[in-house]
A = this chain, B = another copy of it.
Amino acid sequence: MSAHVRVPEQAGVPAVPDTDAVVAVVEAVRLRAPLVQCITNSVVTGFTANVLLAAGAAPAMVDITGEAGPFAAVASALLVNLGTPTPEQRAAAVEAVTAATDAGTPWVLDPVAVGALPIRTSLAKDLAARRPTVVRGNASEIIALAGDGAGGRGVDSTSTAGEALPAARSLVTAGVGAVAVSGERDVVTDGSRVATLTGGDPLLTRVTGTGCALGALVAACAAVTDDALLAALTASAWIGAAAEIAVPAAHGPGSFAVGLIDALATLDGTALADRVRIS
């Protein structure tokens, strides 16, 4: 997987990506239509696939043993989301991650609700040690994954993104490419850089699967750049901008979710650039 979008270095360290880099990743996803294998939870499969299709990527939910591994070896990127991890999916996740690692396929770990729940927490810690390209979660999940907390209540976070930064750094130290902490502000770090993104809309928390679909979109972006931080940042900016476009016409969370899919598909580089606020 060769990088198609690169960020210039400053004194040997890559700069925090600017808006141009984010727009370049979006355009590369649309141009290359990366094949994104998703091992994800039963609540969000359809929404996740529609988000990826709207973004121009090609989703493939290949999540059974005997197929998950061979597919991860040829996919453009892999998402492992632990929202409803049946025994079959847990075995398929390990198979897929092993094959992705061998093949150099970038992969994203979304440790949904770890900390509070024992089966997934154990698996998530094992997978996090296998050097995922990106880990994406809310603050409570990132803190729990790094071993520093007991997690939130289910998929909700009881901490802010900033509070999770030390935990995110420790995951990077342990081998994760970049950690994206979702919240009112999104914070992404790869150890050497920390980028903060504002924007989006509270309605995103009233539609199921927006966080899970973000994880899938990070995987799509990781297929077109070797810069893990840039991939995570772009996916957050893309969904945030689409949310801002969808809000004015929404009458509630139902029509907002529809408009979000529309906006993900139709927003152009200018509309995106106008809404990206990185610091």
Q: Which A residues from 31 to 77 make CB contacts under 8 A with B?
A: 35, 41-47, 49-50, 53-54, 58-64, 66-67, 70-71, 74
B44 touches A46 (CB 8 A): yes
Map CB proximity to B onto A194-236 as digits: 1 under 8 Å, 0 otherwise. 0000000000011111000000000000000000000000000
A253 touches B53 (CB 8 A): yes
Q: Shortest CB–CB separation between residue A119 and chain B, in angstroms?
A: 5
- Is A155 part of the binding interface, using a Cβ–Cβ cutoff of 8 Å? yes
A154 touches B58 (CB 8 A): yes
Size of interface on A: residues with Cβ below 8 Å to B: 61
Residue of B87, B154, B207, B254 touching A62 (CB-CB under 8 A): B154
Known: A67-B120, A119-B64. A209 touches B262 (CB 8 A): no
* Distance between Cα atoms of A253 and B250 in the complex (Å): 16
* Distance between Cα atoms of A87 and B89 in the complex (Å): 11
A251 touches B257 (CB 8 A): no
Q: Which residues of B contact A250 (CB under 8 A)?
A: 262
Map CB proximity to B onto A234-272 as digits: 1 under 8 Å, 0 otherwise. 000000000000000011111101111111111000000
| A2-10, A21-29, A110-118, A135-143 - interface stretch | A110-118
B43 touches A64 (CB 8 A): no
Residue of B156, B251, B254 touching A58 (CB-CB under 8 A): B156
Q: Shortest CB–CB separation between residue A133 and chain B, in angstroms?
A: 20
Residue of B113, B205, B252, B262 touching A60 (CB-CB under 8 A): B113
* Distance between Cα atoms of A71 and B74 in the complex (Å): 37
Q: Shortest CB–CB separation between residue A198 and chain B, in angstroms?
A: 23
A252 touches B54 (CB 8 A): yes
* Distance between Cα atoms of A119 and B65 in the complex (Å): 9
10 A–B contact pairs at CB < 8 A? A41-B61, A50-B257, A58-B153, A61-B83, A62-B117, A64-B87, A86-B86, A206-B265, A254-B258, A255-B262
